[in-house]
Structure 1
Amino acid sequence: MKHAFKTALVAASLLTAPAAIADPIEINAVTLAPRSVYITQPFGQFVEEVNEMFEGEIQINWRGGPEVMPPFGQAEGVRNGAMGMTYTSPSYHQGLVPTSGTMNLSFLNYEEIAATDYHERMTELHAEQDLMFLGEIPATQLNFQIYMREEVTSLADLEGLRIRVFPTLLPLVQALGAEPIVLPMGEIYTALERGTIDGYMQGPLGQAEQFGGLVSTVIQPGVYRAGFPVLMNMDIWNEMSPDLQDRLMTFLREDFAPRMDDIWADDIAEERAAMEAAGFQFLELTGEEAERYEDMAMDAAWAVTAENAGEEIAAELRAMLDR
Structure 2
Amino acid sequence: MKKIFTIYFVLLTCLFFVIDGQQAKAAEAKIKMVTMLPAKHPVGKSFGGFVKRINAALKGEFHIDWRGGPEAVPQFKQPAAVRLGSVDATITSPSYVNGILNVSGASNYSNKTYAERKAAGFHDYFAELHEAKGLIYVGELPMSNKSFHIFLRNPIKKLEDIKGLKIRVFPAIAPAVKALGGNPIVLPMPAIYTSMERGVVKGFVTGIPGVAKIYKGVLGDWIHEGFYTAVFHFLVNPKSWAKIPSATRAKVLNYVRNVDPPIFEANWKPVINGSYAAVDKAGLPGTKFSSAVTAKFNKIVYDAAWAAVKKKAPKEGAKLEKLLMK
Q: TM-score, normalised by structure 1?
A: 0.91
SS in 2 for 1:220: coil
Name the residue aligned to 2:133: 129
Q: Aligned equivalents of 2:51 and 2:276: distance in 1?
A: 30
Superposition pairs for residues 245-264 of structure 1, below 5 Å? 245-264=249-268
2:72, 2:25 → 1: CA distance? 32
Q: Does 1:177 align with 2:177?
A: no
Give the structure 2 partner of residue 201 of structure 1.
Answer: 205
Moved more, 162-171 or 237-246: 237-246
Question: What is the Cα deviation at residue 276 of structure 1?
Answer: 2.0
Partner in structure 2 of residue 88 of structure 1: 92
Q: How many residues align?
A: 304
Q: Deviations over 1:165-185 (max 9, x none)?
A: 000000011011111000111
Q: Kindly state the Cα deviation for residue 68 of structure 1 after the two structures are TM-superposed.
A: 0.4
1:321 Cα deviation from its structure 2 partner:
1.1
CA distance in 1, matches of 2:268, 2:247: 33
2:319 to 295, 313, 316: 316
Alpha-carbon distance in 2 for matches of 1:295, 1:154: 16
Structure 2 unaligned residues grouped into runs of 5+: 1-22
Q: Which amino acid aligns with 2:324?
A: L
105, 109, 125: which one aligns with 2:109: 105
Q: After superposition, where does 1:1-323 map in structure 2 within 5 Å?
A: 20=24, 22-141=26-145, 143-308=147-312, 310-323=313-326
CA RMSD of aligned residues (A): 1.4
Displacement after TM superposition at 1:142 (Å): 6.1
- Cα 1:291–1:62, aligned 2, differ >3 Å: closer, same or farther? same
- Cα separation, 2, equivalents of 1:30 and 1:84: 8
Whose Rg is larger? Answer: 2
Q: Structure 2-normalised TM-score?
A: 0.90
Structure 1 runs (4+) greater than 4 angstroms displaced: none
- Report if aligned partners of 1:78, 1:232 keep a CA contact under 8 Å in 2: yes
Q: What is the rounded CA distance, in whole Å, between the counterparts of 1:265 and 1:142 in structure 2?
A: 13
Question: Is contact 1:212-1:275 (8 Å) kept?
Answer: no
Q: What is the aligned-residue identity percentage?
A: 35
Contact kept in structure 1, 2:175 and 2:305, CA below 8 Å: yes
Contact between 2:29 and 2:62, CA under 8 Å: does it hold in 1?
Answer: yes
- In the TM superposition, residue 103 of structure 1 has moved relative to its aligned partner by 1.2
